[in-house]
A and B are shown apart, each in its own frame.
Chain A
Amino acid sequence: MSRKVFRSVPVLVLLVVELGWFTPRVLGQAEARPSTENGEWPHYAADSRGTRYSPLAQIDAANFNDLEVAWRFKTDNLGARPEYKLEGTPLMVGGVLYTTGGTRRAAIALDAKTGELIWMHSMREGLRGGLAPRQLSGRGLSYWTDGRGDDRVLYVTPGYRLVALNAKTGVPISSFGVDGVVDLKVGVVYGRDQPIDLETGEIGIHSTPLIAKDMVIVGSSMREGMTVETHNNTKGLVRAFDVRTGELIWTIHTIPRPGEFGNDTWLNESWADNGNVGVWTEMTVDEELGLVYLPVETPTSDFYGGHRPGDNLFAESIVAVDLATGERRWHFQFVHHPIWNFDNCCAPILADITVDGREIKAVAVPSKQAFLYVFDRETGEPVWPIEERPVPQGDVPGEWYSPTQPIPTKPPPYARNYLDVPDDLIDFTPEMRVQALEHLKRFKWAPTPFNPAIVGNVDGMLGAITHGTATNWPGGGYDPETHIVYVPAGNSPGGSRSITPGPEGHSDIRYLLGTGGAAFRMAYAAGTGQNPDATGRGAREIVTPAGGRRPPGTSVQGLPIVKPPYGILAAIDLDRGEIKFQVPHGDTPDDIRNHPALQGMDIPKTGQRGTSGVGLLVTKTLVIMGDPQVTTTPDHPRGAMLRAYDKATGEQVGAVWMPARQSGSPMTYMLEGKQYIVVAISGGNYTGEYLAFSLPG
């Protein structure tokens, strides 16, 4: 069994200026822009259109199982302690791999052939880093070049600083911002435009900055909003800066201010004392049209909106803005008055499609609620009608409910987004289904993802049945040749959501995530408190009701209440608006395969629930995605598999073993005639590692 080895990695920046042997460029000539066409991977999602597509074809169905580990890079010593949640997707440009890693979120450059460290940069941010709402190494970084030798790497630190580095040396560009740094907390406000404290103010980001022409665009994120102390939180924003100088070009207020369009969707002046509505995930851009697509997230307090009556634009909307000026061109709100935490999770995918003979420049947005929303990306016109339909109204005191929500008519939901009773219920045995129906008597369910939360109590109705999460931050991908969108999706509705008044004095929000009579649990963003300068302010002892009990969950004999498949890979044909295939993803989890009540049964591969947490890669012939969970099966020892699917049919055509679950989305590149796949793995006993595969020889 391989043991993790704490290699001592040199921390000093290695100044190697003459890297001629890395790049094919001739000095003095303008270079071709880095592109997947060159076998590179210059952006988090392959390109700034969100496709995760590379046309490389060397690795295919015939040889996928022959892949070997070419090299591996541990991120253990890039911070004060190892990380167990490495989520980055590296970039590859000119023979060099660029990515982030470690509990301090260091930016690193590696030799893409061997994984050898070339340079590393990180900032000691002290208390500011320690209090950051979004810690650990994040999703990666970005690359810009002027095509004449000025090559830069840009990333955002945990303490929310935008850093520009010389891509060859890792040294900050002194002419960018102040000595290479733009302080992104400057200009951030809460309430009625009150500046946040630069040290303690709550804002950060995990996703990568968007490079568009000569601009760098940065979103914003706050803490997880389930149990927060106040609804008057930091206000989210999106800003564009000059990539050369760091000068601010435009700012977008996602919560409209008085006089701005949409301000009246915050009734009772609630725009003033509510916040969040950031853009925490990846943005995309159509440089020809000059439009940036912003996937906007949830307002403060994910599950209770009584302090912000109204539709709350532009929360949980897609907003298309002019690249040069930041002016809004069009928008569409997916959830009016958000109270389900359906925050936009991933890159809006730019797809040029042909529908009923008509060519459309489209944008397709995957979601947690398993809808793929498809629009003409120039005009904002839905490609297929999206209908406002009545949804159940809840009865939580003080809440404001939208009477309708938009429902796409096409394509159909690409995963289950509500628990269909009884057809979706567990059915390994008739007895289990009966038990499931019995459990459900204490929960409120509805045939829609927009099932409102209830004020649950351990002695009464426990909660509202939830949709599960279909797609999350890894997002989907797109094949520009066949016009197929590929999305990973959790397929497991059947959780429970209850809100309840929080402990005395904890919050000014009337209702937080929790169940009456049960012990209160703080919900933190993943990675909270792991920055090297963390203060221990993260965990606190909350006074809980004496004898606070656990509300029963929905599981049946320890098994999910919903029947398999628990997680899937879905393919949607965008020319037709139809689902092309859905296949289970991931081995049947060990606790299900080995469940005493299921022994002797022949249960087809169930897939894994955590599929909402893994991402994919699309190539000339394959869709590649790893398991979100470790299993031990007759076919492989304890580990997770990196799987290859025939992209036309969804048939699994290969799988190679990895020692830990996939925790970051895979990428691919070609270097000196060899194709590589690199994927981040971590979790359980296994610390963060970038694992590179290639064919033998």
Chain B
Amino acid sequence: MVAINTFSDTLDAQETVWGGIYTEEQAKRGEPLYFKECASCHAPDLMGGEAAPALTGGEFIWKWSGLSMGDLFDRMRVSMPQDDPRRVSRQQKADILAFLLFKNDFPVGETELANRTEMLNRITFLAIKP
């Protein structure tokens, strides 16, 4: 009897947002998507406005610190863009999230950010590098 565990490679790693969890190329794909779908409320420089919060800076980082990347991704998946979340695909949202990480100076890595919540659940978002 052979137990096949297709996720065995990644089960052991305890990952955080500081571990190089997205690629520069993915962030570059995300940039024009951000400007098209997000910037009208969250501002071109991510600093937000009257109705939409900043996606950079201390208040944003600490608001999500301690939660998982899956939490952040799922919030985007379910409710953003506010007027029609289904307009932007799951893959596009992962790319936009990679762009957000890039703009917040989290380190780039070799692997793209997954577009599946259950995978992203295993990565902890932390304000301070452990």
Residues of chain A at the chain B interface (Cβ within 8 Å): 81-82, 84, 224, 226, 513, 519, 521-526, 528-530, 534-542, 544, 548, 550, 553, 558, 589-592, 594-595, 629-632, 638, 684-685
Q: Does B85 contact A (CB under 8 A)?
A: yes
Q: Is the Cβ of A685 less than 8 Å from the Cβ of B74?
A: yes
Interface: B66 (CB within 8 A): yes
Contacts A538-B82, A550-B44; A589 near B127 (Cβ below 8 A):
no
Instruction: Give the residue name and chain of the B residue nearest to A4 (CB).
Output: B74
Q: Measured between alpha carbons, how far is A591 from B128 in the docked complex, in Å?
A: 11
Q: Please, which residues of chain A bring their CB within 8 A of the CB of B59?
A: 589, 591
B67 adjacent to chain A (CB < 8 Å)? yes
- The distance from the CB of B82 to the nearest CB of chain A, in whole angstroms, is 5
Interface size class of B (residues with CB under 8 A): 35 or more
Query: Taking the complex as formed, is B129 at the interface, i.e. its CB lies under 8 A from any CB of chain A?
Result: no
Beta-carbon contact of B51 and A519 below 8 Å: no
B65 — which chain A residues lie within 8 A by C-beta?
590, 632, 638
Is A81 in contact with B43, judged by CB distance below 8 angstroms?
no
Docked complex Cα distance between A524 and B41 (Å): 8
Within the assembled complex, what's the spacing in Å between the Cα atoms of A381 and B41? 44
- Residue from B61, B66, B72, B82 within 8 A of A530 (CB atoms): B82
Contact with A along B31-62 (1 / 0, CB 8 A): 00000110111011101011110000111011
Closest chain B residue, CB of each to CB of A542: B40
The residues in B between 65 and 114 inclusive whose CB is less than 8 angstroms from any CB of A are 65-67, 71-72, 74-75, 78-79, 81-85, 87
Instruction: Please tell me if the beta carbons of B40 and A522 are within 8 angstroms of each other in the complex.
Output: yes
Known: A82-B79, A523-B51, A536-B87. A541 touches B36 (CB 8 A): yes
Chain B neighbourhood of A684, CB < 8 A? 63-64, 67, 71, 75
Chain B residues packing against A (C-beta within 8 Å): 36-37, 39-41, 43-45, 47, 49-52, 57-59, 61-67, 71-72, 74-75, 78-79, 81-85, 87, 127-128
Query: A81-B79, A523-B50, A592-B58 are known contacts; what are 18 more A-B pairs with Cβ within 8 Å?
Result: A226-B50, A524-B41, A528-B51, A528-B82, A534-B84, A535-B83, A536-B87, A553-B47, A558-B57, A589-B62, A590-B62, A590-B65, A591-B61, A594-B128, A629-B63, A685-B64, A685-B67, A685-B74
Report whether B83 and A594 are in contact in the complex, using a CB–CB cutoff of 8 Å.
Answer: no
18 contacts between A and B (CB under 8 A): A82-B79, A226-B50, A519-B44, A521-B41, A521-B43, A522-B40, A523-B49, A523-B51, A524-B41, A529-B83, A544-B44, A548-B44, A550-B44, A550-B45, A553-B47, A589-B62, A595-B58, A629-B63
Cα–Cα, bound, A541→B66 (Å): 34
Closest to A592 in B: B58
Looking at B37, B50, B59, B71, the one whose CB has the most chain A CB atoms below 10 A away is B50
- Chain B residue nearest to A683 (CB atoms) is B63
- Taking CB atoms, residues of chain B closer than 8 Å to A594 are 62, 127-128
Considering the complex of A and B, which 8 residue pairs feature the smallest CB-CB distances, nearest first?
A529-B83, A591-B58, A590-B62, A538-B83, A685-B71, A523-B50, A550-B45, A536-B84
Question: What residues of A have a CB within 8 angstroms of the CB of B128 in the complex?
Answer: 594
Tell me, in angstroms, the Cα distance from A82 to B85 when the chains sit together: 12
Nearest Cβ in chain B — how far from A492, in angstroms?
A: 13
- Tell me whether A537 and B83 are in contact (CB under 8 A): yes
Q: How far apart sit A519 and B45, CA to CA, in the bound complex (Å)?
A: 9
List of B residues within 8 angstroms of A534 by Cβ: 83-84
Q: How far is the CA of A523 from the CA of B58 in the complex (A)?
A: 22
Q: For the complex, what is the distance from the CA of A536 to the CA of B37, rounded to whole Å?
A: 11
When distances are taken between beta carbons in the complex, the residues of chain B under 8 Å from A629 are 63
Nearest B residue to A557 via CB reads: B58
B36 partner residues in chain A, CB cutoff 8 A = 541
A590: chain B residues at CB < 8 Å are 58, 62-63, 65, 127
A539 near B58: Cβ-Cβ < 8 Å? no
Min distance, Cβ B118 to any Cβ of chain A, angstroms:
11
Nearest residue (CB) in B for A514 is B49
Q: How far is the CA of A521 from the CA of B82 in the complex (A)?
A: 15
Q: How far is the CB of B122 from chain A (nearest CB, A)?
A: 13
Residues of A within 8 A of B43 (CB): 519, 521, 550
Chain A: which residue is nearest B35 at the CB level? A541
Residue in B51, B64, B84 whose beta carbon sits within 8 Å of that of A524 in the complex? B51
Residue of A nearest to B79 (CB): A84
* Interchain CA distance A537-B85 in the complex, whole Å: 13
What residue of chain B has the Cβ atom nearest to residue A524's Cβ?
B51
Beta-carbon contact of B40 and A539 below 8 Å: yes
The residues of A that contact B49 with a CB separation of less than 8 Å are 521, 523
A654 to chain B, nearest CB (A): 24
Closest to A527 in B: B82
CA distance A535 to B83 in the complex (A): 7
**What's the minimum C-beta distance from A129 to chain B, rounded to whole angstroms?**
13
| A529 and B58 contact, CB distance less than 8 A | no
User: Known contacts being A530-B79, A540-B40, is A630 close to B57, with CB within 8 Å?
Assistant: no
Specify which chain A residues have a CB less than 8 angstroms from the CB of B67 in the assembled complex: 638, 684-685
CB-CB nearest in chain A for B83: A529
Bound CA–CA A594/B90 (angstroms): 33
Which residues of the other chain, A, contact B75 by a CB distance below 8 angstroms? 84, 684-685
Closest chain-B Cβ to A63's Cβ sits at a distance in Å of: 30
Determine how close the nearest CB of chain A comes to the CB of B58; give it in whole angstroms: 3
> How long is the Cα–Cα vector from A548 to B40 in the complex, in angstroms?
13
A residues within 8 A CB of B45?
Answer: 519, 550
Q: Which residues of B contact A685 (CB under 8 A)?
A: 64, 67, 71-72, 74-75
> In the complex, A592→B79 CA distance in Å?
28
Q: Which of A519, A539, A630 has most B Cβ within 10 Å?
A: A539
